[in-house]
Amino acid sequence: ENRPIPEPGPDEVLLRMHSVGICGSDVHYWQHGRIGDFVVKDPMVLGHEASGTVVKVGSGVTHLKPGDRVAIEPGVPREVDEFCKTGRYNLSPTIFFCATPPDDGNLCRYYKHSASYCYKLPDNVTFEEGALIEPLSVGIHACKRAGVTLGSKVFVSGSGPIGLVNVIVAKMMGAAAVVVTDLSASRLQKAKEVGADFTIQVKNETPKEVASKVESVLGCMPEITVECTGVQACIQTGIYATRSGGTLVLVGLGPEMVTVPIVNAAVREVDIRGIFRYCNTWPVAIALLASKRINVKPLVTHRFPLEKALEAFETTKRGEGVKVMLKCDPTDQSP
């Protein structure tokens, strides 16, 4: 609240923030101070799922003007390295990323950001939808890496926000059937709401037993599995469940070392792919939202003003609802 309003550089814009979603990583930094090698050593502003209004533009900015509503891509390359040249800038080792130590996020009233990574929102796309482009981008990137296409049979492991966006995107990309697993009945109900064809509530089954249930409800083994939990048993299930010659994409991040049936995957030519965030997804997401081909509005289940950020974080920590959204602009009267 007491931070000075930043001045944008030549290629930056100053934004009055509007909607910022809370991610599991935000809660993890708040609770544990680190995720893997990323360690919080100094006070850090959280938030990376965001939208806002341009209030000032740098001298070199021509595609945006004050008053424009924008969605913010939080990852900005600091240099044009080999990864930028090949279009995979998310893999650049020096990338700036909101709310990843030591880079500040955008859960604040005013925030400056690279203008090239701020995307103008069409009039029929809301600020909340703009903020949801960030988690939606994970689904777009994962489903692209997985090779989802017309008629694909897809298994999504985990029905949290990232599992749900993968359901939405897989169906959009032509998946004929999507089955989702989770421990929570309420989260599986939400998966049905956003387009899942089948759901399986996991209790105490073994990974092989869960894989067998997936095959049973689909009528075949899925060509594609998108693993969104990072839990060792779920990764094992993903390998056992995926059809020979298929693809398993690891989205969820758990412990650094996990025990998996790697020989099972190897001899059946199951490709195991990772993803790191996303790249080149904002224009795609905006086009899908503007055309109303996808609907992400059901993902937002809780809304809080910025003044109640702690309550919002506590709600997310308890696992209530799906996506908790913070409203940073006190003058905004929209629902």
Say what the pLDDT of residue 333 is: 57
> Residue 146: how many CB atoms within 10 A of its CB?
27
What is the overall mean pLDDT for the chain? 96
pLDDT digits (tens, 9 = 90+) for 54-95: 999 999 999 999 999 999 999 999 999 999 999 999 999 999
Q: Model confidence over 275-325: pLDDT tens digits?
A: 999 999 999 999 999 999 999 999 999 999 999 999 999 999 999 889 999
pLDDT at 2 over 70: no
Of the candidates 261, 221, 263, the one whose C-alpha atom is nearest the C-alpha of residue 242 is 221
CATH of domain 12-120+296-327: 3.90.180.10
Distance (Å, whole) CA 334 – CA 311:
20
145-274 CATH: 3.40.50.720
Tokens of 18: 């509007």
pLDDT digits (tens, 9 = 90+) for 87-102: 999 999 999 999 999 9
C-alpha dist (Å) from residue 214 to 181, 204, 222, 235, 324:
9, 15, 8, 14, 30
Q: 113-133, pLDDT tens digit by residue?
A: 999 999 999 999 999 999 999
Measured in whole angstroms, how far is the alpha carbon of residue 64 from the centre of its chain? Answer: 25
Domain segments of the chain as ranges: 12-120+296-327, 145-274
CA dihedral over 107, 111, 117, 123, signed as positive or negative? positive
pLDDT of residue 335: 47
User: pTM of the predicted model, to two decimals?
Assistant: 0.96
Q: pLDDT tens digit string along 235-265?
A: 999 999 999 999 999 999 999 999 999 999 9
